[in-house]
Amino acid sequence: MSAIKVFNPAGDAAGEMAVADDMLVLDKGEQAVKDTVVAIRNAGRSGSASTLHKGEVAGSNKKPWKQKGTGRARAGLRQSPVWRGGGVAFGPKPRDFTQKVNRKVRQLAFDRALSEKIVAGEVTVIERFDLAEPKTKLIRELLKKLGAQASVLIVLEQHEEKVMLAARNLPKIEVVSAAEVDVYALLRYRSLVATRAGFAALQKRMQKGKSTEEGA
């Protein structure tokens, strides 16, 4: 049984929330986490690097000088890769770095990453965010009371404009809905601060994976 600290909207301790051990996945999924993170990061690559090969460089196909008798090395065209301003041999071309990860692998990776975060004590639950104004100072002070001052992933059930506006100027802090949380985000941020409804949505995503596994 793992215990998660619960705080009220003012940032004061309001008890603990228990997570049953049978809901956590800790005995497998390491490779799934690695594969999923690699796929997520590769999907973010633009793949737009592009160079010209010798057939694409502007210019005529006229020989710079005659084949023999000049004392120089033979040269066929100015676009040759050995010339400055010529083409690039085996240079990069636009490509898609997307990697396919099966649905069950993604689900296992999510369950493993969230389970590790819960066991490590890096998850905090707040009843709700009740900011009077969308001020950076207010949410900074609240996170300080919650003990989450480093890199923080704030998870809401649905997008809340006040919270997003208040946190957008804070470095290493991201505000997302529970449906948007992925494995890379769980690993990238040191602390996870979720509203009670947001954490319930994360648990539901884990339960969905567990039911799928049991039905397989």
Calpha distance 156→21 (Å, rounded): 24
**Each residue's pLDDT tens digit, 161-187:** 999 999 999 999 999 999 999 999 999
Question: Residue 216 pLDDT more than 60?
Answer: no
Kindly provide the residue ranges of all beta strands, DSSP E only, lying in 77-209, ordered along the sequence: 123-126, 152-156, 173-177, 191-195
Token pair recorded at residue 39:
């796929």
Tell me the backbone φ, ψ of residue 166, rounded to 5 degrees.
Answer: -70, -35
**Each residue's pLDDT tens digit, 109-127:** 999 999 999 999 999 999 9
Question: Residue 212 pLDDT more than 70?
Answer: no
